[in-house]
Structures are given as structure tokens and as C-alpha cells.
Chains A and B, each alone.
Chain A
């Protein structure tokens, strides 16, 4: 079991180091050599080393996450958009297409799965998780149980899923998952109320602690929804509050920061705001947020796309990587990686290769963006289409 060392006595401050006229207040921390470990010690259980290693692997240069964890209902909407019925066979066919794209692991370090997919095989009868591992992609699992109305709030939501989470996480680990994901939301048009922010942050912290205890690297995702007419400054204000609270509760819950990943929303104006922001502005605000609120011990920050078009999402990511950052700044995209691919496939076996090619095009583009080298040459119109849906429900 890894634990940080106990606090030793702090250095006694020399009077001469203080500004003239200020009285010195000595802070002495007594060391109790035989004391029970204080609640300040971080404890990520026996999985600590593995968690750190997995997090670093997912946060490797030039790579990011493919989010393919749409619930059956949401996947149904995707399939419906190309005229397909929402059956297990169709979901299996679609996910097979994604995970078997040749060479995907060059650009993708991790794939988030829905529970059904974690236990599924491809249409060739191979386990999905095995295909991913062979592709050098770490399998992840969505563990939350969705959003429900938050009693006592301003029509806001909270995220369910803590009941029985420890045993579910252990089972997912057995099945091959090595990281988890939990998405909660904060809504600016609805406040957000202090209660909603607290509930979101506390739920994430509890989930993170339980995940680590069972060998899964938790992706911490408090999505500040794009919906609203607010400007970028308001988003920045709310984001600072949310992240401060998230990290405070993560610390209270003894979470090992070196063994987590973040999935924040970029700092942008609201979707219905009259003023648009350039990728450079988005990068500027977002990097400021990260510098003020995210400890450097966090290995990777994998941004969500939240309704941006495929190209927008790539351009914004690229702008953020024009200078070295203390953390790996990358992507965890669903729609922004899959949209053109889905449309190209249209459910037809003869289109599989072409669809996989478009997936690889987007994956490569975002890989270049992670390295700050994306040029945007040769992008299709489809890729530039915005994917914002008002009041979008996952």
C-alpha cells in the first residue's frame, strides 16, 4: 500500500527572511513518529503504481482518447441518423468498425466503452477488449448511471452511480478495463447553484476514490454545458469555481492525483452567445484556467468536444499545444471523431473501409493537434459542421 510520508516538522523560519516590522509567527508541526497515519496521507491502495503507469500511457505524446461509450439509447440516436435500427447486432457492427480500424493505436491511446461493449465480441468473434489491447489501446469503461433531477436545486441535475460501484469496478477490472469515466454536468443558464456545483464535485471525488481503490484510473469529467447565451468570461468564472471545488474534494477523499485524468470542457462562449471566439482565444482562456486550477501532478487533460464541429475541436486543441504545458493536453472525443465516419459507413458493409479511413483521418488530425502541428489542410465540409444540439441529452 503506497502512502505519502508523514508530515515531518516544518522548517523554523528565520526572522531575517521576514519583511522588516512584521512579527514572526513560528509554525511548528510536531512529528509523531508512532502515530497512526494522519488523514493527510494519500492512499491509492495496492494499485498505486499501476494507476500511475496507466494514466501516463493514456497521456502519451501524439495520442488521445476515442470516446465510444454511448449508452444504448444514445447509440440508438446515432444509428437512427443513418437509418439503422437500434439492435445489439448493429451496435456490435458499428463498434467493430471502430476498434478494428488498422493502425488506430498510433493516434488513440484509450477507448471508453459502454458496459455492453466491454463484454461484447467483434463480428469476427474476438473480444472487443482483446482487439483494443492488440491495437495498443487501453480499454476504459463508463461507470456512471446517468443524470437525474437534483432535488432542491434550480432545475439542475446530479449524476447517479455510487451504489455498488466498488464491486462493479472490480468486475470491470477483471474484464480488462483499466480506466473509468463518470460524466456529470453543470449548467450556466441555471445558475449554477452552489448546491449543484458541490454535488457534482463531491460525486466525482467519491467515484474517483472508489475507482482507484479497484484498479481503475478515474477520468474526472465535470462538463460545463455549452448551452446558454453567456460570454466566455462567465464560462471562465464558473469553470474556476468548479475546478477549485473538484480538486478540494479529490484531496479530501485521498485521491492520488498522479493516477487520474481530467476531461474538462474548453472555455468558450455559450452556444447562443452572439460573440464567437477564435481558437487562439479559446486556447488562451482554457490554458489560464488550467494553470490556475490544475496541479501539475495530473498527467493528462483530455478535452471533451461537447458539440463543437470536428474541425473546430481539432483547431482549438492545436492552439493549446503551441507551447509546452506541464500536463499532456489532449482529446477525448466522441462526436468529433465519429461523425463523418458514421455517415460514411451508413450501415453498409461495403463502406467499412472508407469509414475506417475517415476515422483515421480525424484521429491523425487530433494527434497532430496534440503535438501542436495541425495545419487543417484538406478538411472536408462535413468535418466543419457544428454538432451542437440545444439541451442535448446524452
Chain B
């Protein structure tokens, strides 16, 4: 199969491999203005630019945390923001060996003729935007497609449309120097069992890799951000080892070895759950030609947010919570997490039914 061999090929391969460095993972801090508003509201903080900046600064300047991160996904506003002393966030990251990433999709819209399924927008003018983001220091991008499990869902139309959108986004990113994170999230909502989730995940990933192939995407220069394979949110929970087995098996069946790393989304799992599941996957003795890491949003920030509560005097406490979760997940990528990184809220489920980003 002939794939992208343009001027960024070597850089894409190097950056994708770096993001998958064992012991490191991604902080997803790309909440849109609307979504971050909800987070801030939950701790009674006003949704204004200074507060959004303050929260992100708290995270990026936590002493010792950046060593556990290979990348941070940003929202457009944040890419251009600075610390209180005037240092651009992208410089803070670069100095610590962390790659800045950028969310480039424009959200979901409904697919006509389906039962509430969606497709993701953002292809118009994407090439130009990628060029601007690269110039501003971004080196990877992210695009979130969403699918759901139901009696007749996901429909073939939804699968095809979302896979196609991901592939189009991916090649445009590569042509403009950004490593595309391919994210086909299958929502956890529902009362289905783990086998149903496994079946759907395998079908969706197969469609995604077929589409990436058709669009001549350079697989060595991409990352996958899938859901873990779990029972539905309304079903009984299972042990981390069971989740690990089903998830890794799904990847073995569908993901080409050329892809350097998988950076799982947490999708509403509690901080502790997400870490334990990732840890179990990395302890599993089976064929794993790609590294298994994290790209967590809520599952890295929840306790931190609660500890901060918008008050300067809490910054130390908040940063300690953030550091603890970063370290825990770093250990999970090595399969050495022993537990015990608990703080207030770490076990709290972060699932919101029919969650809208």
C-alpha cells in the first residue's frame, strides 16, 4: 500500500514514537470553552479567560509532573496563552520535552436518517488551520468521532461516515506536519455486556483502519485513542484483568503493528479505575507490538480541580493531586502501579449519561 511519503514523514514517525515512550502519556486539556465552563462551574469558578488560563497554568507548571507526560492536547485558545509571568505555554512544554497538541475538530452534528447518531465536522479549511497550528508549535492533532451502542447502533452509515472523516482528517494533518490522533470513541452508555462492546469496537476499528488505508495515511505517523473495552455503564462492573484481556484482544485483531502507540481515553471512568485498567493491560503477557498508554482528561484532572476550587492558597494541594495521578498513570504504562495514589474524588465515577463534550 502506498502511503504518505512527503516532507514531514520522518518527523511524524519520530513524534508519534516519542509520544508512546514507556512511562509517559498524554494530558487531554483540550476542553472547549463551553466544556471547561462546566468544569469550572462544578467548583464555583467563573468561566472567564483568566480562570481558564489559571487552571491550565496550574497543571503545566506542577513541579515534576511534566516528566510523566509526552504530550498535552490543547484547545485553540490555550495554544496561544502564556503563564502569569508571560511565558508561552508551548515554551513551558517544549522545555520539559512535552509535545503540544491541538484539537482540530468542530464538534458533532446529527446524521440525518439515523436514531440520534452523529458525525464530526471540521474538514473545511483544515489544511490552512493545521499550518497555522504547526507554526505556533503544535506537533500533533486530535479529532473525536463518537459512536454509540444501541439496538440498531452503531449503524453502518455512522461507522462509514465517522471512519471516513477520521481518515480525511488524518491525511490532511500529516501533509501539514501534525501527527493525527485517531479517536473513534464508542460511548460507554448502555446496558450491554463486555462482549457486545468488544464486538462493536472490533468492527469500528476495522472500518477505521480500512479508511486510513484507502486514504494513504502513514500509520507509523499516527496514534489511536480508543475506548477501553468494558461493560456498558448500566451493567455490572468487571475486574481490570477482564477489561485488559478484552481490550488487548480487540486491538490484536484490528490494529496494525505499524501504529506505534495506543493512548486510551478514560470516557467517564474514575481516576483510579482508569489507572488500574491501564495497568492491567500492561501486565498482560501477550502479543503487544504497540505501547499502551493514556490520554486522559477527566481521569487526570478531577481531584486536582476539586482540590484547587479556584483558590490561590490551594494551588499546592491541587498540584500535589495532579502529580500523584500523573505518576500513577506513568507506572500503569509500565505495569508497576501498586495502588494507593488516592485522594479525594479519585474513586469517583466521572460518567455523565450521554455526555456531550
Contact = CB atoms under 8 A, between A and B. Distances in A.
Contact of B151 (A36, A145, A202, A210): A36
B112 A160 contact: no
Contact of A152 (B110, B119, B122, B216): B216
Contacts of B152: 36, 38-39
Interface in A88-106: none
Interface in B285-321: none
Interface string A184-203: 00000000001100110010
- Tell me which of A38, A151, A209, A210 has the highest count of chain B C-beta atoms within 10 A of its own C-beta: A151
B113 A254 contact: yes
B113 A166 contact: no
A328 interface: no
A252 to B, nearest CB: 6
SS of B interface (majority): loop
A206 interface: yes
Nearest to A199: B168
Interface string B129-160: 00000000000000000000001100111001
A43 interface: yes
B122 to A, nearest CB: 6
A214 to B, nearest CB: 9
Interface residues of B, number: 33
B215 interface: yes
Nearest to A249: B160
B172 interface: yes
A360 to B, nearest CB: 39
A163 B114 CA distance: 18
Contacts of A386: none
Contact of B156 (A39, A42, A166): A39
Interface in A107-164: 145, 148-149, 151-152, 160-164
Contacts of B49: none
B125 interface: yes
A195 B124 contact: no
Contacts of A148: 127
Contacts of B174: 151
A255 to B, nearest CB: 8
A340 interface: no
B121 interface: yes
Contact of B215 (A145, A152, A160, A213): A152
B221 to A, nearest CB: 13
B125 A160 contact: yes
A162 B108 CA distance: 12
Q: How large is the interface on A (under 10, 10 to 19, 20 to 34, 35 or more residues)?
A: 20 to 34
A72 interface: no
Given A151-B175, A152-B171, A152-B216, A252 B151 contact: no
A163 B106 contact: yes
B325 to A, nearest CB: 35
Nearest to A38: B152
A195 to B, nearest CB: 6
A212 interface: yes
A199 B171 CA distance: 13
B179 to A, nearest CB: 15
B172 A151 contact: yes
B112 A163 contact: no
Contacts of A145: 124
B124 A162 contact: yes
B214 A254 contact: no
A195 B123 contact: no
Contact of B113 (A163, A198, A199, A253): A253
Contact of A209 (B113, B171, B217): B113
Contact of B124 (A163, A198, A202, A206): A163
A163 B122 contact: yes
Contacts of A194: 214
Given A43-B112, A151-B171, A160-B125, A252 B216 contact: no
B333 interface: no
Contacts of A152: 4, 171, 215-217
Contacts of B112: 43, 45, 209-210, 212-213, 253-254
A129 B285 CA distance: 69
B178 to A, nearest CB: 12
Given A36-B152, A151-B171, A163-B122, A43 B109 contact: no
Contacts of B124: 145, 160-163
Given A39-B152, A152-B4, A152-B215, A254 B157 contact: yes
- Tell me which of B4, B113, B114, B216 has the highest count of chain A C-beta atoms within 10 A of its own C-beta: B113
Contacts of B119: 206
A161 B124 CA distance: 6
B216 A160 contact: no
A166 B113 CA distance: 14
Contacts of A160: 123-125
Contacts of B109: 166
Interface in A37-63: 38-39, 42-43, 45
Interface in B82-124: 106, 109-115, 119, 121-124
A162 B121 contact: yes
Nearest to A145: B124
Contacts of B216: 152, 195
Contacts of B157: 39, 252-254
B57 to A, nearest CB: 32
A163 B121 contact: yes
Interface in B240-270: none
Contact of A202 (B4, B111, B114, B164): B164
B76 interface: no
Contacts of A213: 112
Interface of A: 36, 38-39, 42-43, 45, 145, 148-149, 151-152, 160-164, 166, 194-195, 198-199, 202, 206, 209-210, 212-213, 252-254
13 contacts: A43-B112, A152-B217, A160-B123, A161-B124, A162-B121, A162-B124, A163-B106, A163-B122, A195-B214, A209-B111, A212-B112, A252-B157, A252-B160
Given A43-B113, A195-B215, A209-B113, 17 more contacts: A36-B152, A39-B152, A39-B156, A149-B127, A151-B127, A152-B4, A152-B215, A160-B125, A162-B123, A162-B124, A164-B121, A166-B109, A209-B111, A210-B112, A212-B112, A253-B113, A254-B112
Top 8 A-B residue pairs of the complex, sorted by shortest distance between their CB atoms: A254-B113, A152-B216, A213-B112, A151-B171, A160-B124, A163-B121, A163-B124, A209-B112
